[in-house]
Structure 1
Amino acid sequence: MSTIATAPPMLADLGPIAQVRAGRLGRRLPQLYVGLVAYGVSLALMIRGDLGLAPWDVLHSGLTEYVPLTIGEVVVVMSFVVLLLWIPLREKPGLGTISNAIVVGFSADATLALMDRPDGLAVRVALMVGGIVLCGLATAMYIGAQLGRGPRDGLMTGLARRTGLSLRLVRTALEVTVVVIGLLLGGTLGLGTVLYALAIGPLAQLMLPAWVVRLEE
């Protein structure tokens, strides 16, 4: 999923094979998959809060109105659609990229199957805030594992590299675009969308240093 617009210097810039060969997989693989599952859970929490979704999820929720798929399945399908856009950008997917495309959506659906939308506003606000904070943590975990960008992050960095525009500008343009398309399709926009857009970058940036796994040299 799309998350932060900058990366700290301790993150290595490695190809997909080098990412795996860099060692410490006993720490990095569990961290990657726990982070991806947590990301799916965070999506489900925001859906059940029903106070607005993250920008890309506004699009995903809108698409569910037109296709016979759950929101988690739409997340998976759209992840692979986005990966097709990597081809002209010459981005290289890693294990984390493919895992991101699959695990997040199915984790979201599994969590939604276990939860109903609460009636109380206070509980819904708690789910929204908890979802945003958990997403920041999940982002730090899967990026810190250094096994490849998520599909939407790679689209952002690839476009920035090919166009020469800043990551912040490219990210903003992408997220505004998907929100507008999602709204036109009937997606869910609300307070949670605004809070997510304002908070997710700082949260992930704050948590990331604690989760970056130093690679073997």
Structure 2
Amino acid sequence: MSATRTAVPPSPSSLARDRARRGTRLAAGLVLYAASIALLVHPQLGSMPWDVLNQGVARTAGWSFGTATVVISLVVLLCWVPLRQRPGVGTLANVVVIGALVDPFLTLAALLPDPLPLAARAAMVVAGIGANAVATALYVGARLGPGPRDGLMTGLVARTGGSVRLVRGAIEVVVVAAGWALGGTVGLGTLAYALAIGPLVHVLLPRLTVRAER
């Protein structure tokens, strides 16, 4: 008869290492995410779908971009309640860190020469998309809770039975249309982001996900 293997629980030191790795990935991802927003917003060639809405709300309400980002994130979190989604540490950190850092990053971007050549603006968009993909893989891979918008998407998928692609696409069409109507910037950068971010995160996420300690 073969001996039955008994699972050995992780040691306290292993759990501490796991928490540290997750926290580091989460923090790095959120800081990089805020920087990627500035790289995409500043060139005015089209922002990420949710940032089109953030821009529109900021301009309409007279708020800073960061304030609009936080307010919309909190509204999205309220939408989690009927969907029975549970926030994690990463969810709350997403709201606080990105909301706090995006305005300073935009201020830094405003120090660049004005006007920037089109080639430089396009390079910023490409860099912003790449940075956003790495940032997304880092904070999602930390496994400490989805961002508000990711949780809205997964909650709607669970409740409606629709595909991730269909639900995410529908949400982004709605927020882009609303943001554009309020004065947000839609352009080639928006389209490039929509086409590139999925494949990039698909490649990066397995490589940047923190594996559980055993």
Counterpart CA distance in 2 for 1:105 and 1:28 is 21
Paired position in structure 2 for 1:163: 160
Among candidates 182, 186, 211, match of residue 189 of structure 1? 186
Are 1:180 and 2:177 matched, yes or no?
Answer: yes
TM-score of the superposition, structure 1-length normalised?
0.87
Given that residues 60 and 182 in structure 1 are in contact (C-alpha distance below 8 angstroms), is that contact kept between their aligned partners in structure 2? yes
More moved, 193-202 vs 114-123: 114-123
- Runs (4+) off by over 4 Å: none
Give the structure 2 partner of residue 24 of structure 1: 18
Residue deviations 1:31-65, cap 9 Å, x none? 10110010010000111121100111111111111
Correspondence 1:1-217 to 2 at 5 A: 24-116=18-110, 118=114, 119-217=116-214
Amino acid at match of 2:203: L
Displacement of 1:104 after TM fit?
Answer: 1.2
- Aligned residue pairs: how many? 197
1:155-187: CA deviation from partner (whole Å, max 9, x where unpaired): 000001011111111000000000111111111
Q: Which residues of structure 2 form unaligned runs of 5+?
A: 1-14
Single out whichever of 25-34 and 89-98 deviates more from structure 2.
25-34
* Superposed displacement of residue 93, structure 1: 0.2
**Is contact 1:160–1:166 with CA below 8 Å preserved after alignment?**
yes
CA pair 35-51 structure 1, distance change in 2 beyond 3 A: same
Which one-letter code corresponds to 2:185 in the other structure? Answer: T
Residue equivalent to 2:7: none
For residues 77 and 185 of structure 2, what CA distance do their matches in structure 1 show?
24
Whole-angstrom distance in 2 between the partners of 1:109 and 1:183: 20
Residues 22, 216 of structure 1: 8 Å contact kept:
no
> 1:17 maps to what in 2?
none
- CA distance in structure 2 between the aligned counterparts of 1:23 and 1:153, rounded to whole angstroms: 26
Write the distance in 1 (CA, Å) between the matches of 2:59 and 2:26: 31
1:98-149 residue CA offsets vs partner (Å, 9 max, x unmatched): 0001111222111111122542111101111100000000000000100000
Match of 1:96, SS state, is: helix
Distance 1:156 1:40 in 2: 20
CA-CA distance at 1:23 after TM superposition? 6.3
2:58/2:67 contact within 8 Å kept: no
Q: Identity over aligned residues, as a percent?
A: 51
The alignment yields a C-alpha RMSD, in angstroms, of 1.4
Instruction: Provide TM-score, normalisation by structure 2.
Output: 0.89
In 2, distance between residues paired with 1:180 and 1:174?
A: 10
- State the match for 2:3 in structure 1: none
Residue segments in structure 1 that go unaligned for 5+ positions in a row? 1-20
Distance in 2 of aligned mates of 1:205 and 1:75: 25
Distance across 2 between alignment mates of 1:115 and 1:188: 17
CA displacement 1:60-119 (0-9 Å, x = unmatched): 111111113111111111111100000000000000000001111222111111122542
Supply the distance in 2 between the matched residues of 1:125 and 1:105 (Cα, whole angstroms).
Answer: 25
Three-state SS of the structure 2 residue aligned to 1:148 is coil
1:22–1:214 distance in 2 versus 1, CA, 3 Å: farther
SS across alignment from 1:24:
helix
Structure 1 counterpart of 2:59, which letter? Answer: E
1:213 Cα deviation after fit: 0.5
